[in-house]
Amino acid sequence: MKKQYPRKEFLKLTILANLGLYINPLKFIDKKTRDNFFFSPTADNVLYFKKGDAAYETLRKGFNKRINKFPQIIAQCLNTKGVSEAIIYAVKNKLPVAIKSGGHCMEGFSVNNGGMVINLSSLNSVELNNDVVTVGPGCTLSKLYDAILPKGRYFPGGSCGGVGIGGLTLGGGYGLLSRKFGLTCDSLQEITMVDGKGKIISSIDDKDLLWACKGGGNGNFGVITQLKFKTYTAPNSLQSFRFRYYKLNTVSAKGFLKKWFEASADLPVSCFSAFVLNGKTGYILLTNCDKNTEKVQKFVSIFSKDADKFTQTQPQPLAQSLKVFYGQKDPLYFKNASAGLYKNFGEIDNYIDKVLDIVISTPGMIYQVNTLGGNINNADFEKASAFAHRSSIYFSELQTYWPDPKQESRFIQRFETVQSIFSANGITTQYRNYPDLNFKNWNALYYGSNYAKLQQIKNKYDPGNVIRHEQSIKNS
């Protein structure tokens, strides 16, 4: 019999993968390890690791055990000047560059074969000054929260503690409180970047660059070495409600999904909700960072009366309640990707049965839909950012997990079958932070009408296309 995750463990792994993968934070190489394995240990700004060094193996691996790439060299940059030196080295030696802050990319765009990986794990500082926080791209979400929440400030990130701020922000970034505060990128005020020629750039001098870094994707224009964000007064508490439904079939799962779409559309911006179908088990999550209004109570009433299991927490301090969603750190075999952004259930009504049928018959596969809307749709945020999908109210994703690498081909085949159903039925929007290598027209799916302007910015800052990956913005 093939090994499978126990159902309880599997649900714990996957119910909030949409908010940031359960990843192992990128390891920082300490001085002792550098001196032992770095082939030029006297450098002040950047450390280079090559194949054969013990540190190379540690740094090359990520959280997704499915992805196995071998760069020619890994540059662990200790500061912005070190990033500049690394880029100049890469240009001189004709090495394509991939950028790794937290190693969170689902398709492994933060590592490459035969090129250079710029490792930003040591650029992880965090400094709060009044309502502005300045962070390095390698700073993890948990470290940032630990620094600012005790001071009563909040940053609208995701929920996974191990995700790096750089990658989270550049693709958009959303989480439990995004409907109230906007996407992560909407709070971005300034960046420092090293471009594809090794020049250090500030977005103060180019408002279009800042626009591009708000949802225009990572690994495109340059290497971000510092980010400044506006912070907000932190909500006092967060409360969660969980509803579980067992032994669902395609008809009953579709019924719950439709009901969830209808009920979630009326939730206040203080709430986040997700519908998760994991095999035959349905799961609904609701969180609220404010008082439970009549609309919240109505939502709870609708789903609690039919649930096989219903649980709720008491309102808890935000710092404490967010840690529940940080997730585990151990690497996994998986493939996850965006499965479309929607405005309502009607957009998927005619064909979602086919998707649900495959998920129900494939233990280890999950279909999930999450609420967007609220201040994510803010018109001022839309004008100031490259994030192209403000009008969407829901975001879906497809997930697959397997403990045995021999199971991979079966899961990937089913995964691609589901994605082809969405594609064939006119899904034209996808979330850049959840990429899929099989998206044929990924440029339009991720960036919509903003792609041409993003190409202009690519031409300006990386005309030689030094910084690139399989779905990076192309020079025009």
CATH code assigned to 126-234: 3.30.465.10
HEC string of 36-98?
HHCCCCCCCCEEEEECCCHHHHHHHCCCECCCCCCCCEEEEECCHHHHHHHHHHHHHCCCCEE
Q: How confident is the model at residue 34 (pLDDT cuts 50, 70, 90)?
A: very low
Q: What angle do CA 325, 146, 128 make, to 5 degrees?
A: 130
Mean pLDDT over 429-452 rounds to 97
Assigned architecture for domain 236-447: 3-Layer(aba) Sandwich (3.40)
Q: How confident is the model at residue 301 (pLDDT cuts 50, 70, 90)?
A: very high
What is the DSSP annotation of 148-215? Answer: HGGGTEE----S-TT-BHHHHHHT----TTHHHH--GGGGEEEEEEEETTS-EEEGGG-HHHHHHTTT
pLDDT in tens, 129-178: 999 999 999 999 999 999 999 999 999 998 788 889 999 999 999 999 99
Residue extents of the structural domains in the chain: 23-119, 126-234, 236-447
Q: By three-state DSSP, how is residue 459 classified?
A: helix
pLDDT in tens, 379-421: 999 999 999 999 999 999 999 999 999 999 999 999 999 999 9
Task: Please tell me which residue, 235 or 14, carries the higher pLDDT value.
Answer: 235
pTM, two decimals, is 0.91
Is the pLDDT at 36 greater than 70, yes or no? no
pLDDT in tens, 361-374: 999 999 999 999 99
Task: Give the number of other Cβ atoms within 10 Å of residue 50's Cβ.
Answer: 14
23-119 under CATH 3.30.43.10, yes or no? yes
